[in-house]
Amino acid sequence: MKKYKKIVRLIPLDQRRFKFLYIFSLLLIFCLFGRLVKLQVFNASDLQRKARLIQSSKTNSLKKRRSIVDRNNRLIAYDKPLYKLWAHPKYFNFPGDSINRVRSIEEVTEKLSHVLDINDEILLRKFNNKMSGIMLLDKISEEKAEKIKNLQISGLDLFKYSQRYYPQGELYSNLVGFVNDENIASAGLELHLDNQIKVFNKSNLIKRGGDGTPLPDNSAPGDFISDYKSLGLTIDSKLQKASFNALSKQVNKWKAKKGFAIVMDVNNGQILSLVAVPSYDPNKFWQYDSELFRGWYSQDLFEPGSTFKPINLALALEEKVIQKDGVVEDIGKINVGGWTLYNWDKKGNGYIDYPKVLQVSSNVGMVKIMQNLDSKIYWDWLKNLGINKNLETDLFESTAGQLKRKDLFVNQSIESAVTSFGKGFSISPLKLVQLHAALANGGFEVTPHVTSTFKETSNRYPKKQFFSHEASKTVLEWMESVVDKGSGSGVKIEGYRIAGKTGTSQKALNGSYTSKKVCSFVATLPVNDPKYAVLVVVDEPSKSYAYGSTVAVPVAKEIIESLIVIEKIPPKIKDQGMIVKKP
C-alpha cells in the first residue's frame, strides 16, 4: 500500500508581527547589554565590596595594652576582659523554639537573674518599653559571660572589651599612672611609654566560601594570635612596698606636703624602687586631685642644699685646689661681696679637715674651699655635669635644672659662694641621685631608668666620666665619716659600710627665702663595693626641729634595712685591720 506524504502549505509571516518580534528582540538585547554595562562598570566597586563581605570576614582585636610587671614578674597593671550585655526583646527565642516564636521579657529576665544573681525586677526596669538596643549590664566577668552564652537565648548580645586594672593600688600610681575610662593613657609610664604598651595587631581577613566555610589563604601561623608580651620594670615590689610604707609614715608624722624616695643601682642606673607620697588609687583616679598625677620628682626643681657638698668637694679635688689631708678654718660666718654667710647653727668649728666639713655640714668651710677654684672653671664644671640640661630617661619628661648665667656667676662672687653649699641653683631629685651614683661608681654617668628594655645612651656611646676614680673614692670615704661620726649617724647599721650626706634647704619664694624647708638625705652602700644609691626627699615638714637628720634619715634607714634583706647584701666585719666577709 502506498504511503502519501503530507503537504504543508507555508503561509508568509505577517510583516507587522515580524517587525514586532524584531524590535522586541533588539530592545531585549539592548536592555541586557545596558544591565551588563551597569553591573560591570557603574556598580563594579559596590558589588566587589559586597562580595568581599560575603567571602571574607575581618578580625578586629580588642584595644589592648600590654601588662606591666616588676623584675620578678609580679603584676603591676593588666587588661581585664569584661562584657556588656545588650538585649533585643523582639528577637527573644529559646533553644528548641519555633523560628517565629518570641519569648516575653519576663521569661528572659527570669533566666538571667539566676545566672547573674540579680533580682529580675532590676532587670525588668531597664527595658522601659524598648524593644531593641537595651544595655542591660556592664562590667560582666568572663565567668558570668560564659553562663549567659550557655543559655543560648536569641536576642541577647555580649560585647567584649578590656579594662585596665592595677592590683597593687596606690603603691605604683606615681610611677605607672593610669588609663581613663576610654582606655586612653593619662599619666605616668602609661602615658610616657604609650606606644610601647599599646598592642598593635595586624588587620587580617579570613576568606570564606558561599556557605561561610573558611577557605585556605596566605595567613601566617601567628597572624591571629594575641600579643602576650609584657612591659618589664626593674622595680622590686617588695622593696617598693617597704619604701612606700617608710616614707608614708614619716610624711604623716611630720605633716609634710609630699615626699620622695628612690633606690638605684649606681653601676647601670636601674631603679629598684621609686615611691612618692601622697599617692592615689589608679583604679579610682577620678576621686583624686589631678595634681597627684604629676611626676614631680623629675619635673619639679629644688635647691639640693648640703647634699650637693660632696659633689663640690669632688670638683675641688679634680682641680687640685685642695689636698686630701688639708684643713680649713671655720669661724661660723664669712663675708662675701657685702653679704654675710653663716653656718646652719651660726657656730664656728675652728680648723677642721674635709671629712669634718661634711660631718658638721659647714657652709663656711665649703665657701672657703670653693673660693680656691676659679669661678669660670667652676661654672664650666656645673655645665658639664648637666645641671641645666634635661635628664634623658624613660620616666616622665624631666625639667632642666636652673643655673645662673655664666657672666653673673663669674662677676658676682656671692653666686659661686652660695653654690658651694647647694644654693642659688636648682635641680630635680632624679638629677641629684644621678650625680651621687657617679660619685659611687668611680665617676661615670648613668641614666636612671625603670624599664628592663631601656637602652642607655652609655650603651651606645662611650660612657661620660664626671669624676676620676681617685676623687670619687676619696669623697665617698669622707661621706662614710658622716654616717660614722656626723649628722647621718641615724642610718648606721652594724656590719655595713654606708656613706651619706644630709641636707636641709630653705625654699625660695619671689626671690627671698621662706621658713619652709626641704629635708633630704642621700646614701651609698656598701662603701667597700658601691652598688646602691638611696635618696629621700621630704618637702615642707611642718613641725619644729625638721632637718635632714631627723626627717629623711629614718626613712633611709628603714629602706636600707629592707634592701639588705631583699638583695641579700652580706655584712663586712673588720678583722685585724682587714675587711672580710662575715661567714
Asked if 491 and 523 touch (Cβ cutoff 8 Å), the reply is yes
- Do 191 and 397 form a contact (C-beta atoms < 8 A)? no
The DSSP string of 465-507 is B-S-HHHHHHHHHHHHHHHHHSTTGGG--TT---EEEEEEEEE
Catalytic, 306? Answer yes
SS3 118: coil
Candidate list 248, 279, 306, 472, residue with the active-site label: 306
Q: Which amino acid is at 544?
A: S
Whole-angstrom Cα distance, residue 298 to residue 393? Answer: 10
Only one residue has cell 625654699, namely: 507
Residues facing 363 on adjacent strands: none
Return the sign of the alpha-carbon dihedral for residues 432, 438, 440, 446: positive
Q: Kindly report the CA angle at 528 between 524 and 529, in degrees rounded to 5?
A: 75
Residue 232 phi/psi, 5-degree rounding, is: -90, 135
Separation between Cα atoms, residue 545 and residue 208, nearest integer Å: 78
Strand 67-69 vs strand 499-509: parallel, antiparallel, or unpaired?
Answer: unpaired
Round to whole Å and give the CA distance between 87 and 111: 13
The number of beta carbons lying within 10 Å of the beta carbon of residue 431 is 26
The answer to whether 375 and 420 have CB atoms below 8 angstroms apart is no
Gap between the Cα atoms of 524 and 501, Å rounded: 9
Which residues are marked as active site? 306
